[in-house]
Structure 1
């Protein structure tokens, strides 16, 4: 009999306000909390599946159910997990769900580091315990409501503003009426052509915009390459970078990659990607879906090696059931001295 016990729980996380991007609106998300127990220690992980990548909580559950009881018994190093999880999915004819893989690895890493009596960041020799400042996301809405959202989040030094609509210029002008703080723009694939994107970027450059995330659909690689040559602002890959794309090609179209655990499926894989991306001159952003402090704490550990952070998912929900990553007065991410990921029940 395996000494490990894997359990999971589907959880609905309600948002403080409806969250709208160019693809739609949500008022709650259905995530999956994973717990891995052995030797009196329990590690926790979280899956935040996203429909953009054809994932949902039911697919995560099916993936977890396919894992045999003995799966964890022969794992001694985290580098083994990602490949073995894919093998299990193939053997059981179950789709390999990236967010589910991320949750399982997260739980194992939390368990492993707790068992070693160390914080994970310390085992990984992190250069610091203080990450970048996180941005705070302003979802699409009526302009006066978006203005109010900015004012309600006045303690944050950087905003990420969702665009990709026919009224983007009016939105930016409206937000600039209430704040002069730096803004990062995320179009979520919402602009239709190189011409439209290039024109919008020139407009944004005149309004103290720091960078532009995913201006065109990920399927339009050649257009993205052309746009980078014309762009006066740095471009960040989100939907264009899931995790297995050629970083050499990504570097032709973008200046920054947004690594999200729910896309890439693995903290250890993300660390390897960060190392390779830096050699190619790419900067790193660590982002998130709508997540609790479980997944956002895992993201914060990765952000210790990053240039930018967009880890506000746990701030956008009404009742975060966990606590882990902290923010200092300047909204820099601070990881915990607790063992494992540093996550505890609230």
Structure 2
């Protein structure tokens, strides 16, 4: 068995702004895991907001090489459990390794992941395309440059409803709104009434992540569904969201990979919560992993690779709002270049 890590800076097509940050480049870590004739690839974007760096992720992954080598013939779920003690403070690094292990496992079994899990590619949700914060003119230009049936609009200003009104003049596409913790409960309830008339589908994380008192009020009074993002990081958070949100948004990097994500999906459904899986700004390596969960999801946000100036991989692709799977095993991802 051989493991290598690659720390890369992925250049974005446009500056990406949300309510608390802005960036032009997305650092990411690629894990390459070889065993016999097969190679698996995993990825996790290094997000400064969560205190992650590619250097630290690489260090954490490399620490598990001895125990990984001893257990490489086991299932991804077994390997995740065995290596979990090494990743107590770094779910991002754990995610990159878990995806690589899954990819390798699928290749050794000569099957794509969704088939290993007993799933079929039917009734798949459409992914949104994200429009980051900017001037109205900039946001309209992004929509014009990238026609899409469903947009996620990043908000968090004093003029949020007006921004959506202006954007609505330029497209008939459905909208989703992500306030990134910037609103109060009262604002959310008021804004929801106005945004529903503008064909907004749901509101993602409108309140600060720990404001469950406010979310209880929003849950009862909002005319639009509310989706937990920052309030639902790990498995232990799923149950906390029941009765406060209508759905949860799972990020593979935050929870530690595909293995815990599948458990979170099952628990959420048992609690009557709908499920969304979101992305950071990964290349097609990370996006391809998300795609195999699609048959289990109500919503998905897997546009990360579309936001890149230059992708580094081939694999599952989005085109005209639809997902296209390659005829390859594992996740279907294949590195093509480093830029």
Q: Which bin holds the TM-score, normalised by the shorter protein? A: over 0.9
Q: Scaled by the length of structure 2, what TM-score is found?
A: 0.95
Tell me whether 270-279 or 309-318 shows the greater mean CA deviation: 270-279
| 2:156 equivalent to 1:164 | yes
Inter-partner Cα distance in structure 2 for 1:158 and 1:344: 27
Give the Cα–Cα distance (whole angstroms) in 1 for the partners of residues 135 and 17 of structure 2: 11
Compared CA separation, residues 88 and 248, structure 1 to 2 (3 A): closer
Q: Sort the Cα spacing of 1:260 and 1:12 in 2 relative to 1 into closer, same or farther, 3 A.
A: same
* 1:190 aligned onto 2:182: yes
Moved >3 Å (runs of 4+): none
Deviation at 1:312, TM superposition (A): 0.3
User: What is the match of residue 92 of structure 1?
Assistant: none
Structure 1 residue aligned with 2:46, among 26, 46, 49?
49
CA distance in 1, matches of 2:247, 2:69: 35
Report deviation, 1:297: 0.6
TM-score scaled by structure 1? 0.93
Cα deviation code 1:149-172 (max 9, x no counterpart): 111121x10000001111212211
Residues 185 and 215 in structure 2, CA contact (< 8 A), matched pair in contact too? yes
CA distance in 2: counterparts of 1:70 and 1:229, whole angstroms: 48
Matches within 5 A, 1:192-341: 193-329=184-320, 331-341=321-331
Q: Report how far residue 19 of structure 1 moved.
A: 0.3
> Which segment drifts farther, 248-257 or 309-318?
248-257
The aligned residue for residue 143 of structure 1 is 136
Distance 1:68 1:324 in 2: 26
Look up the SS of the partner of 1:8 in the other structure: strand
Please report how far the alpha carbon of residue 246 of structure 1 lies from its aligned counterpart in structure 2 after TM superposition: 4.0
Given that 2:75 and 2:105 are in contact with CA atoms closer than 8 Å, whether structure 1 keeps it comes out as no
Secondary structure in structure 1 of the residue aligned to 2:8: strand
| 1:80 CA drift (Å) | 1.8
How far, CA to CA, are the matches of 1:128 and 1:62 in structure 2? 36
Is the 8 Å Cα contact of residues 326 and 334 (structure 1) preserved in structure 2?
yes
Which deviates more from structure 2 when the two are superposed, residues 277-286 or residues 65-74? 65-74
How many angstroms does 1:129 deviate by? 5.8
- Aligned pairs, number: 335
Query: Counterpart of 1:12?
Result: 9
Distance in structure 2 (CA, Å) of the matches to 1:197 and 1:112: 44
1-structure distance, mates of 2:3, 2:174: 43
Q: Which 10-residue stretch deviates more, 8-17 or 275-284?
A: 275-284
CA contact (8 A) 1:127 1:305 kept: no
Separation of aligned partners in 2, 1:79 and 1:218: 29
**Is contact 2:71-2:79 (8 Å) kept?**
no
Alignment deviations for residues 41-68 of structure 1 (CA, whole Å, 9 cap, x no partner): 1110001122232222122122123223
